[in-house]
């Protein structure tokens, strides 16, 4: 499968699900010690944020190309929601 601008939002969604699982389950209980090293969690959350923001940017182009972009609109919205969640996790995990 060749990744291009049209397929990148879908690939980003498929990549984001395991990354989000790592961030959520590796973070540990609220107020407790994380199960994974903090730097690793921050790296995974930042990677997920960047990948989903780029996918949302490419999704804007897909929305403009198609006459009735229901699938493109759903992928765009999912990428934005995942980017917001990765950003929220970054803020929660950041020490201080």
Q: Please, what's the largest Cα pairwise distance for the chain?
A: 50
How high is the pLDDT of residue 32? 77
How high is the pLDDT of residue 1? 62
Distance CA 12, CA 52 (A): 6
pLDDT band at 22 (very low <50, low <70, confident <90, very high): very high
Residue 42: Cβ within 10 Å count: 16
CB 72 within 8 A of CB 66: yes
Model confidence over 39-69: pLDDT tens digits? 999 999 999 999 999 999 999 888 888 777 7
pTM recorded for the entire structure:
0.89
């Amino acid at each position: 499968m060749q990744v291009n601008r049209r397929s990148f939002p879908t690939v980003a969604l498929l990549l984001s699900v395991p990354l989000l699982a790592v961030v959520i389950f590796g973070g540990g209980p609220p107020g407790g010690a994380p199960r994974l090293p903090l730097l690793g969690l921050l790296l995974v959350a930042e990677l997920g944020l960047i990948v989903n923001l780029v996918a949302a940017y490419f999704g804007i182009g897909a929305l403009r190309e198609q006459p009735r972009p229901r699938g493109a609109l759903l992928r765009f919205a999912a990428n934005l929601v995942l980017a917001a969640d990765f950003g929220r996790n970054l803020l929660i995990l950041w020490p201080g």
